[in-house]
Every structure is written in C-alpha cells, then in structure tokens.
Amino acid sequence: MTIANAVNEQRLWQRHMDLAKIGATAKGGVNRQAFTPEEAEARKLLAGWAAARGFSCAVDDIGNLFFRRAGTDPDAAPVVTGSHIDSQPTGGKFDGAYGVLAGLEVLEAAEDAGIVTKRPLEFVAWSNEEGGRFQPATMGSAVYTGAMNFDEMLAVIDRTGAKVGDLLPATLAATPGAQRRAFGTPLGAYIEAHIEQGPILEMEDLTIGIVTGIQGCRWFAVDVEGSEAHAGTTPFSARRDAFRAAHAIVAELYELTVDDKDILRFTVGCFEVAPGSPNTVPGHVYFTLDIRHPDAAFLKELGDKVEDVCRRNANGLKYTLRETYNVPPIKFDDGVVGRIRDCTKELKLSHRDMISGALHDAKYMNDICPAGMIFVPCEKGISHNEVEAARPADLAAGARVLAEAMIALANQ
C-alpha cells in the first residue's frame, strides 16, 4: 500500500471537526488565540490522538509542540511538517489546523501502511503563529530558529497587559509527559500544508498550489498622545486631538498605498480611541499597520516612509512608532519545491505554482533547512473569518502530496 492510498479523508475531516469544537464560535469559526485555556485544551486533544498511535511528544520552552514517529536511524534529523493551532479572534476551522492535522494524518497513514523510513517523521504545532494577541506573529518558529530572542518574547504583552512569560507555564502544563527539546534542534527538511487563504486555486479549478515563496511583510504599532478635552466647549485652536492626528496619518498612508495592479497589501487592523466617550476629545489613539509586498526593495522603501508620514501628520502631538515585525520576502528550496511538484504530478492532481500572500512558520524553517509549502483551495478564498471553509477531498489531496513528499525525503 502506498502512503497516499493510506491517507484517510474521513479521519482527517473528523479531526478538523473535533478540534474546531475547542474555542468554537456561534458563527461556526474558532476563537483559540495563543496561550489561552482553549489553545491548551487543543494541545491536550492533539497529544491524546498522537499518544494513541504511539507517537512520542516533545515541547520546547516557548511551547512549540512536536510529535514523532521513529525512523530506522535515530540519529538522523527528522522530516517535519506542521503549522499552528492558535487562531485569529474570529478565525476559521482550517487556518493552521489543517497543516497540523495533515501532519498527524501522514504519521497515521505511515503506521496504517506499515511504512518504514530512515529518518523520523514529525509534525509540529508552532506557538503563537497568528500574532493577533501577542505581536510579533510566527513567534514560536522564529524563536526556534534564533531569528527572534526568547527573553524578549517572554516580555511581550497583549492589550490587557497579560505577558507571554506569565502564560507559558499553563501552555506547557497541557502536555506534562512531553520531553523537553532545545531550540534549534536540527530538521532534515520541512513542508507545511495550508489552505490557500486566497481565491486563485478555486477560481482556476485547481487542487494543489505549489508554493515557491512568501511575500514580505512589515508591521508597525503607533501610539498618538493628545489631551482629553470637553467636546462642546474646547475650540479647535485649543485641542490636542489624538484621533485627528491618527486619522491624518492613516489617510495619507491609504493614499500612498493605492496600487493599480492590486499587488500591495495595506491594513489598519487595530484602531483604539481612548477614552472612548462621545463628548470627550480623544487623548490617546493606538493603531497598527500591516504592509505586504513580494518585492523586498519596494517593501523597504514604503515601510521606511511610515516614520515621515507620522511626523508630518502628528500636528505637533507626541507619538511613538514601533516596528513589531519585519519579514522580507523569501523563496523556498528548489529541491523541496521540485519534490512537491513531482509528487503532485505522480498523483495526477491539477496544480500551479504560486507565492503565498500570508505568512507561515515555513518562512523561518526555510532559514535552517530545505523547506516548502503545499496549498489547497478554500471556499471563495475567505480566511481570517469564521465562515472559512474547505472541502474534505481537497484537504485529503493535499495530505497525500505531503505524505508522498515526506516519505521520499525521509529516505534520503
């Protein structure tokens, strides 16, 4: 039996439905943000499934959670797949969950088919991939490779002041039997499966996206300090209106980011006005910027203009600008990408090459080992939304490509 034949579509689908019960929202999505009790619960469920098949479990100090099926050479670096089980506040059932559960399916299919590999096979759930609550995103994978500093990440706080370092013990306690793994433990290769999160595969009626790279991304957080004042009595000349300044900054950035080709992405995802009373001139505004483009030079030039835009529009008010995330575009390993393409062709699945608009932990793995990604379609390309949907057959097709590619790499 080939591993592709052993991939079980129904089992893979049911695992998604079961995992999505943890943090389920009324609109059919999930709210399972990083380092919450819900995410810890999801870790336990995953660990139970893996233990039932005899896979060993390891965790590192930031909570990256690894499951291993042994190979014949215990000293060989594993072939690893995975993604994340944390979600956006209004997330879907598939973003991240698919990559983790496809990994579990590959290891289970290898068991079912009695396949022996030289290298161990592993799947991993990376910590805090989304970054919606704690910035930066892809925190777990970036700390693992050394691209981000562990101690600095422990000090990161959310908008309520909750600190990563204070929440980590509860996350780690979800898998008490796990071995401790050191950051940077070598990987032989890494392939991540993910829903596309965009409309191209569905529009072109294709099953597999062979991901050749990821576009670049820069995040900024801006605080503007004004003074509260009475909305009825304070003349404009006497106001220090934090909203008016923040609005001017954002308005100029929207103008700067007009792109006829619709390649550039620009998002103001958070915008908090304080104290939030109709009849008080706002004394403080906090907002975030997410800017993305596949061209490194373009992204650098545009991102570097943000400081100037803030200064010119702050209207004399004090502001602070912090860059919270800076990820240049990357290209995946030709060998891994070629392997994924070959396996897709052997399985006679329709496909195309594409670059990823979204970020993924595979970006950081690409820095330390040969890496690549597999995309499958999602309905109407909708993601970071509770209605996010994908078809069981497409999820299984992606898992089959992943399984064949991993087995091939695990015998190298």
Nearest-CA neighbor of 66 among 43, 97, 94, 40? 43
Supply 134's token pair. Answer: 């704690």
In angstroms, give the least distance from the CB of 349 to Mn ion.
22
Q: Which of 137, 195, 242, 330 binds ligand HGY (CB under 6 A)?
A: 137
The whole-angstrom separation of Cα 392 and Cα 385 is: 19
Q: Which of 86, 105, 122, 129 binds ligand HGY (CB under 6 A)?
A: 129
Residue 397 Cβ vs ligand HGY, minimum distance, rounded to whole Å: 22
Output DSSP code: residue 217. E
Conformation bin of residue 63: beta by default, left when phi > 0, alpha when psi is -120 to 50? left
- Residue 82 as a binder of Mn ion (CB under 5 A): the answer is no
Q: Is 303 in the site for Mn ion (CB under 5 A)?
A: no
Residue with the closest Cβ to ligand HGY?
358
> Would you count residue 95 as binding Mn ion (CB under 5 A)?
yes
Say whether 392 sits in a helix, a strand or coil: helix
| Nearest to ligand HGY of 86, 241 (CB atom) | 86
Exposure letters 262-301 (e unless 16+ CB within 10 A, then b): eebbbeeeeeebeeeeeeebbbbbbbbbbbbbbeeeebee
Residue 210 is a binding residue for ligand HGY (CB under 6 A):
no
Give the range of 14-22, 57-65, 89-97, 179-187 binding Mn ion by CB under 5 A: 89-97
How many whole angstroms separate alpha carbon 344 and alpha carbon 402?
9
By CB under 5 A, tell whether 96 contacts Mn ion: yes
Residue 30 touching ligand HGY (CB under 6 A): no
Question: Considering beta carbons, is residue 96 or 216 the nearer one to Mn ion?
Answer: 96
Within a 10 A sphere around the Cβ of 350, how many other Cβ atoms? 12
Please answer whether residues 193 and 340 qualify as being in contact, where contact means their C-beta atoms are separated by less than 8 angstroms: no
Establish if 394 lies at the interface with ligand HGY (CB under 6 A): no
Q: Judge whether 404 and 3 are in contact, CB under 8 Å.
A: yes
Binding of residue 327 to ligand HGY (CB under 6 A): no
Gap between the Cα atoms of 281 and 204, Å rounded: 50
Q: Exposed, middle or buried: residue 238 (CB in 10 Å: 0-12, 13-18, 19+)?
A: exposed
Q: Residue 386, interface with Mn ion (CB under 5 A)?
A: no
3 state DSSP class of 325: strand
Which of 189, 362 has the CB closer to ligand HGY?
Answer: 362
Question: Is residue 130 at the binding interface for ligand HGY, with CB under 6 A as the rule?
Answer: yes
Region near ligand HGY per CB under 6 A, out of 34-42, 51-59, 130-138, 151-159: 130-138
Residue 4 CB, nearest distance to ligand HGY (Å)? 28
Q: Give the x/- contact pattern for ligand HGY in 353-382, rule: CB under 6 A.
A: -----xx-----------------------
Which residues contribute to the site for Mn ion (CB under 5 A)? 95-96
Rule CB under 6 A: which residues touch ligand HGY?
129-131, 137, 358-359
